[in-house]
Amino acid sequence: MDPHPLLPEEDYWSTPFAHALLQALDIFPGATVLDVAAGGGIPAFYLAEQVGPAGQVLAVDIHQRQILRARTMQGTRFPWLKFEVGDMRFLPPTLPEFDRITGNLSFMFFRPKRFEALKNLIQFLKPGGQIVLTFPALGTFDSLWDRVEREMSRRQLENELKALAEYIAERPSTEQAGQWLRELGLEKVAVQDLPLEVKTGPGVDFLEHPLLRGGFLDDIYECFKDPALADEFMTVISEDIESFTPLVAQRGVISGWRQHDAGPQ
């Protein structure tokens, strides 16, 4: 039996990350929750059910289309759950403080200044409150990046290799993200990596995979200035999936608690 029935089973990406988030989150009836990068409501609907009518959940996402979709799904349910358009990196200072701050698959959108964005977010956490964030951590799809790097090296694509290296270097590990929480004065910091296999077939199945294309393959394409070369290059990669499957993502989870007597440093 699904322990979180309001999480859609057919979502093979957001839901597994949300399960990891909820395992780390200490939620209670009446809590106030800020959910950033809320997307279509995974796990905002579950959070709303858990806090009940005495609580409040504010779910924020930068994309208006996602917010409108979530509001449509919500209908008249959970009137204490609000979906609003907003950039989690630049939240208005008039927002109140919250008992819990969550963000499923959120930390990847904190770039380019992740530490500063995290610091700005924590200012909305009540003393004694908890923050839990999940993201595809360093190590996600390493087998794919290794295959791409080998192909670029074989072709002596120096500019593309440099762009790929910069992309990979920018991705934080869970340990690094957890250290940032410590530097910001949080207590009981915990980090965890949970593997998640993503299945794909060769050719078009790989190139048009709704998860891989939407968030990862595009990063490879962006390493190229020549679109035609990028298409030819990726076609070669797509026909050699045996060399880099299984594709394994790392569900990074970071959690920390704000001190009762002090704010972030």
Q: What is the pLDDT of residue 112?
A: 72
CB burial class (10 A; 0-12, 13-18, 19+) of residue 142? middle
> Start-end ranges of CATH 3.40.50.150 in the chain?
14-137+172-197+250-257
Considering the segment(s) 14-137+172-197+250-257 as one domain, its CATH architecture is 3-Layer(aba) Sandwich (3.40)
| pLDDT over threshold 90, residue 3 | no
* pLDDT single digits (tens) 56-98: 999 999 889 999 999 999 999 999 999 999 888 888 889 999 9
Edge-to-edge strands, sheet with 247-257? 81-85, 56-61, 32-36, 98-103, 125-136, 247-257, 187-198
Nearest CA among 148, 196, 190 for reference residue 168: 148
* pLDDT single digits (tens) 176-190: 999 999 999 999 999
The count of C-alpha atoms lying within 13 angstroms of the C-alpha of 12, restricted to the half-sphere facing its C-beta, is 11
In angstroms, rounded to a whole number, what is the distance separating the alpha carbons of residues 101 and 122? 8
In angstroms, rounded to a whole number, what is the distance separating the alpha carbons of residues 104 and 253? 9
| pLDDT over threshold 70, residue 4 | no
Alpha helices in 123-242 (DSSP H): 142-154, 158-170, 174-183, 204-207, 210-212, 218-221, 227-238
pTM for the predicted model, two decimal places: 0.89
Q: Which of 103-112, 122-131, 157-166, 236-245 has the lowest mean pLDDT?
A: 103-112
Q: What is the pLDDT of residue 172?
A: 87
CB 27, CB 45: distance < 8 Å: no
